Amino acid sequence: MPSSRKRVPKAVLDTNVWVSALIWGGRPSEVVHAAEDGMIKIFASKEIIEEISQVLEYPKIKRVYEAAGMRHEELIETIIGISKLVNASLKVTLIAEHPADDKFIECALAAGAGYIVSGDRHLLKKAGYEKIRIVPVGEFLGILKK
């Protein structure tokens, strides 16, 4: 008997999406909640977690989450708890304007993810790579509703 279960999309979230979701909420948090509800699978790599950790140390961001009673370690633990970690061993050089963004494509390739959800103009300008679509949060939420 064929399964009527819809295949769960696999996605990699850019640093700005994670930080927005965990600290400010809004539409990015809807993506994270979709993962918590099993509607999508989110993947991350050690390199992505390290970048998020660095961004959380920016003084203007740190002030916001500490004022809300959140701790750096808790935020990172949340990300690790929601994400499936993959070893992004294949290296690519695609985002010439900002090579640090290649880590998101590398993670998506390692995970077999179909989406990178981002607010980063360098990644969004690429639009996609192989079978990976690079989309903003609003577009990804629309895809999930289909």
Q: Is residue 97 part of a domain?
A: yes
DSSP H or E segment with residue 117 = strand 115-117
- Tell me, what's the pLDDT at 83? 97
Q: Is residue 3 part of a domain?
A: no
Q: Is residue 4 part of a domain?
A: no
Q: Is residue 2 part of a domain?
A: no
CATH number at residue 91: 3.40.50.1010
Q: Is residue 5 part of a domain?
A: no
User: What pTM, to 2 d.p., does this model score?
Assistant: 0.91
Q: What's the mean pLDDT in 48-54?
A: 97
- Tell me, what's the pLDDT at 6? 67
Asked if 11 and 40 count as a contact pair (C-beta separation under 8 A), the reply is yes
